Every structure is written in C-alpha cells, then in structure tokens.
Amino acid sequence: MKLVVTGCAGFIGSAFVRTTLELNAASRIVNLDKLTYAGNLENLASVAQDPRYRFVQGDIADAAVVEALLAEEKPDAIVHFAAESHVDRSIHAPTPVFETNLRGTFTLLEAARAAKLARFVHVSTDEVYGSIDAPHEADESYPLKASSPYSASKAGSDLLALSYFTTYKLPVLVTRASNNYGPFQFPEKLIPLMISNALDGRDLPIYGDGQQVRDWLYVDDHCAGIRAVLNQGQAGEVYNIGGNCSLPNLEVVRRILKATGQPDSLMKTVTDRPGHDRRYALTSEKLEKETGWSPQMDFDRGLALTVDWYRDNREWVERVRSGEYRRFYDVNYAQR
Ligand code: NAD
Ligand code: DAU
C-alpha cells in the first residue's frame, strides 16, 4: 500500500511510520507535516534514509499543497494524524486548534474527494465522548459530548469525515483511541511530563484531586489498531481503540515515582484544568471482533520501557524543552 500520512513528525504518527516500515506493511509512506512545536524530525531519524519514506513539509489546511501532493503521489490511502493535540494548549490558544483540526481536516477531505481516494482513516480520540460515569463505558454509538476546544474540534472533524462517507461515498473510517504513552511523546502530556520532571527532581503538578481516570494505551498497540482498521475496517464505520487499563492519575504518577526512584513528596497539587473531564472509559470490542486486534502491552512493562527511553534520551528532552516549551510551561503552570 502507498500511503500519505499527515502529522508523522509527532508522537503517534512517527511510531506509525517506524512500525509500519519495520513490518513491511506499506510500500511507500509520504509524511505531510507542518513541523509545529510538536513536530520533530528527530523522531524519524531511523527511517529518514529509507527509500520507501518521503517527508514533505506543509500545512494540511493549504489546499494547493494537499492537492498537488495527492496528484503527484496517487496514494491508496490517507492516514490522518495531524492535529493540535494538547487539551491545555487548546484552552489557552484555541485558534490553531480550529485551523488544523477542523479546517485542515476539511481541506484533506475535499482533496481526497476530488482525487477519488480509495481509503481515508481519520485518527480521533475517546475524548469526543466526554466524561463518563462509572461503571459505563463508551462504545462507538455513545453520544458525543466534548468539553474542551480540543475535544470539540475532534468531535466536529469526526462528524465532518463521516459526512463525506454518507454524502459523497468517500471511504472514510474513524478511529477513537484512549490516552497514548510511550517513547518520543512531547513532555507536555501527563506521562512524559511526569517522567521527565521526576528524572530531574522537579515538582510533579497534579491537577485538582488527581482522581481523574484515563485508559492507557501503549503507542505501538495504537498503531497496530490503526493498521487493522486501515486494512480490515468497514468504510463509514467508527472503531474505538483502548488499552484495557483504567487508572486514576495519582496512581499513574505514583508508579512513575517508583519507576524513577523518586519520593512521593515531588507531587504538588495545583489548580484544576477548566472543564476537566473526570473519567474516560471505552470498549474496543468492535475492533477486536472484526479484526482480531487487541492491546498487547502490559502497563507496568510499557511504563518501564518509557521511563528507560526518557532516561536514555535526556538530550532529546532538553532540545524539545528549550524555547517555545518554556513559554508554554510558564503560561500553563506559573499561575496554578
Ligand atoms: P502530536 O502533537 O505529537 O503531533 C502532531 C503532529 O501534527 C506534529 O508533527 C505537528 O507538526 C503536526 N501538525 C500539526 N498541525 C499541522 C498542520 N496544520 N499541517 C500538518 N501537520 C501538522 O500529536 P499525537 O499525540 O501524535 O496525536 C496524533 C493524532 O492522534 C491526533 O489527531 C490526536 O488527536 C490523536 N490522538 C492522540 C492521542 C494521545 O494520547 N496523544 C490519543 C488519541 C488520539
Ligand atoms: O483520551 C485521549 C486524549 O488523551 C488525546 O485525544 C489527547 O490528544 C491527549 O492529549 C490526551 O488528553 P488528556 O487531556 O487526557 O491528556 P493529558 O496528558 O493532558 O492529561 C491526562 C490527565 O492528567 C488529565 O486528567 C489531566 C492530568 N494532568 C495533566 C497534566 C499535563 C495533570 O494532572 N497534570 C498535568 O500537568
């Protein structure tokens, strides 16, 4: 399969490129990425010389760039990862969230429609279901109830993508995954932030009471789920991809402190995130039944691998933490 993938200089997209090429599961991958603060070509250094891989710097909201790329590459499918992906940033600065997640997705869908593309996988999130009371969990028909500008933009782009199937018969598939973790994740998200701060002996900022629950999915399991949807999913359908691992944030942070050998006293309670969703929970039964996929990584093993990676890649962390990251850290944490 010849793929155009968007946003693969980021965390999950780069893992998708590395693992897909390693498994020989695509004959060519063209990565269209704008290189925002979250895009880092270092994440793709291991495949940069691979003749099956090409990088194109560009904005998914730029119709001319997208149309020219599809005309030149004639891919079998688009896998669409590119997004502004951080909830806190979406609260401080929603404009790029709208531009990329909504306008960018619209631009890609329009170009895909014109090019009569055979498959379009839109990578989305369980955040679109909003906070879910225990013991319920969302299946794919659960109502959408987005809380942040980020989750609202993802819910909107999911609906837009599905409308292209209903109206234009563009073979769109939507995936909704839970919280990912693993190597190369930008240290603004819970797990990499807490690991990198713990390794430096810095404070670990816990929003509110820390009892919010997330389902944790190892990034390579997510990528395998996306490949299962790409190859075996039904057009026009939505597929949840979860890790079967629900934990309160405080428990995750305690395990990080244990894995890094740091004391619990590093944990500091700070002002809660506005509109903070209390609990995410989903079932991936549909994907498991239709494709045979299931998450393989045990959380403690995945966390140990991730801690080791951050310990061994301090220079990567230092480089991404310089410049823009410091400004964001001040904006997000100084007032809390
Ligand atoms: P990320 O922030 O690490 O990477 C995003 C990438 O998109 C970056 O390389 C960035 O340069 C690129 N990008 C941003 N705007 C762009 C634009 N206008 N044009 C081209 N490229 C652009 O994100 P991630 O965590 O890897 O998430 C990837 C996708 O998976 C997103 O769609 C996100 O909503 C979804 N998702 C993430 C998680 C998670 O836990 N991180 C869970 C479920 C779903
Ligand atoms: O559920 C999937 C979603 O998971 C993805 O769609 C998003 O792209 C991804 O960012 C993630 O969203 P969350 O808001 O759940 O992830 P985050 O890592 O920002 O926060 C996880 C939990 O940890 C949440 O309850 C907020 C809390 N938290 C986070 C940070 C950054 C803290 O307590 N302190 C922090 O400093």
- The pLDDT score that the predictor gives to residue 158 is 98
What is the Cα–Cα distance from 48 to 51, expressed in whole angstroms? 8
Q: Tens-of-pLDDT digits for all 336 residues of the chain?
A: 999 999 999 999 999 999 999 999 999 999 999 999 999 999 999 999 999 999 999 999 999 999 999 999 999 999 999 999 999 999 999 999 999 999 999 999 999 999 999 999 999 999 999 999 999 999 999 999 999 999 999 999 999 999 999 999 999 999 999 999 999 999 999 999 999 999 999 999 999 999 999 999 999 999 999 999 999 999 999 999 999 999 999 999 999 999 999 999 999 999 999 999 999 999 999 999 999 999 999 999 999 999 999 999 999 999 999 878 988 999 999 888
Residues in the chain: 336
- Give 120-164 pLDDT, tens digit per residue: 999 999 999 999 999 999 999 999 999 999 999 999 999 999 999
CB distance 178 to ligand 2 below 6 Å? yes
- The hierarchical CATH code for the domain 2-181+217-241 is 3.40.50.720
Ligand nearest to the CA of 174: 1
Atom of ligand 1 nearest to the CA of 180: 40
CB distance 170 to ligand 2 below 6 Å? no
CB distance 214 to ligand 2 below 6 Å? yes
- The pLDDT score that the predictor gives to residue 323 is 78
Q: What separation in Å is there between the alpha carbon of 115 and the centre of ligand 1?
A: 24
- The pLDDT score that the predictor gives to residue 324 is 86
Assigned CATH class of 190-213+245-321? alpha beta
CB distance 175 to ligand 2 below 6 Å? no
- The pLDDT score that the predictor gives to residue 281 is 98
Atom of ligand 1 nearest to the CA of 126: 43
Map tokens 């079998």 to a residue: 76
- The pLDDT score that the predictor gives to residue 335 is 81
- The pLDDT score that the predictor gives to residue 6 is 99
Q: Which residues are catalytic?
A: 126-127, 150
CB distance 43 to ligand 1 below 6 Å? no
Ligand nearest to the CA of 126: 2
| Substitution candidate for ligand 2 out of 89, 129, 190, 194 with most atoms within 8 A of CB | 190
Sign of CA dihedral 203, 206, 211, 212: negative
Q: What separation in Å is there between the alpha carbon of 193 and the centre of ligand 2?
A: 10
- The pLDDT score that the predictor gives to residue 336 is 83
CB distance 7 to ligand 1 below 6 Å? yes
User: What are the extents of the domains in the chain?
Assistant: 2-181+217-241, 190-213+245-321
Look up residue 103 and give its two tokens: 């306008």
- The pLDDT score that the predictor gives to residue 262 is 98
What secondary structure letter does DSSP report for 100?
I
